[in-house]
Structure 1
Amino acid sequence: MSLKDLLVVLDAGPANDDRLALAIGLAKRFDAHLVGLHPSSTAEGSLHSAGFDTTLFDAALRETLARLEARSTKVRAGFEAATQREAVSAEWRVARGYPGPETVLHARYADLVILGQRRPDDSPLDAPDPADVVLDAGCPALIVPYAGRFERIERHALIAWNASSQAARAVRDALPLLKACRAVTVLAVNPKQGVDAHGQEPGADIARHLARHGIPVETGRSFTAATDPADEILSRAADFGSDLIVMGAYGHSRVREMVLGGVTRSILQQMTVPVLMSH
């Protein structure tokens, strides 16, 4: 599989430029078409009480629409200037509905969607929740942390391997990116041996598969007493100097992870490098 249709979600946050730079770099590497999607929900107007005087409501709505339009114009100008400067095939879209469902809709016609990690102060009307996109888009999601600069993915990729169908899907979806990395490590955290788990040699089977694709790959095992291995994954990524983590998402139900916690939820909250997730 090659990446020929990329979707990058650009809100009005401070990490926009770095996310766009990463997306443009990928578009150039794979000679791909890049779609910029800007969430610009007018749903804010529905938050005004119906008891307000109509004139006041209309004025507030007009002000909201003007502010959103100005924001959209600014983000579009940055997108078009950057893509023209780098000679990337590109187009611009504005999502007028709620960011989550709108992003999912557009992502269904892309090979990869690139979006930002949720900031603590993000409104549901400003940017999509990556968890929603990962679960419903039907394509892999590359989630970029809101802190840090990540213009390239080429040094080292860490595969968080748990032998699940979600992890296998993520590895297949990530193949174009993995082939571009100088080194790849398959990491099994607290692996369980057995026919229905990691096999007799945890990580070896998927490593052989990657090697047949010409990917320079090694395997590693890590053990932690924590029930949630997210900290161990992020710690090892730092040790390796990884600029990408590849993992399956929501091996358990999302509701269970919300209540009990889970590695997907923890990684989405604590990520320090871009993470490619598939479900």
Structure 2
Amino acid sequence: MKRLLITGANGGLGSICRDRLGHLAGTLRLSARKGLGEARANEEIVYCDLGDKDAVEALVEGCDGIVHMGGQATEAKWETIRNANIDGMFNLYEAARKSSTKPRIVFASSNHAIGFHRQTERLDAKSVTRPDGLYGISKVFGEAMASMYHDKFGIETACVRIGSCFPEPKNHRMLSTWMSYDDFVLLIERIFMVPVLGCPIIYGASNNAASWWDNREVAYLGWQPQDNAEAFRAKIDAEMTPPPGDDLNALYQGGAFCGDGIHED
């Protein structure tokens, strides 16, 4: 690619993309509302509020690919979610439709789009959405937006329902949802390498022995995650007691998001 746009490039995963995806394009265009520091070699920085339609159109123009990590990243008030994750998604896809390059998009969806499924269920791309909060609802909306813009306008998107992408899993629930940074980067590489992408739903998790998710429908991507959260089970067992059976973190795939309040993924 000539130019790859990374939105939310100052966030946790956006920063990983900035550090590790430079080989995919001649220029990385990095965007956030603030806090990106100085541009490095082969980078350009464009500050942008996703709720600003005209600014988003200018941001997207000339980009061959977009890794959309921007937006509200956890549960919040509706006004906050609406600006970034609802209006912002519409603005991004309208900008892609109008652009001269028709970029391929990686959309950071979330496991919270299906969070109210029980942990005893095994899900695939055809499983019904069961969002566990306003944040999860915004991700279902984003997936629907991607689907319509693909069917109507040919904009290709990988909707990645990211589980828990951290250096290592932090608790027993994450033994099922964890995705390593290496597997995350490998997935994005494969998304931009395949000749035809379409608009798939992809569960963003490593090759975890305790996984609840089945990615067989996206085998054509050639993504083969290498890491397994099981390597951390003994450490987690030593640090904490597993949640009781009636705890949200033991009942639902979305864990504590299925209750009240704001929680980390």
The answer to whether TM tops 0.5 is no
Bigger relative contact order (CA 8 A; separation at least 6): 1
Q: TM class, shorter-chain normalised?
A: 0.3 to 0.5
* TM-score, structure 1 normalization: 0.35
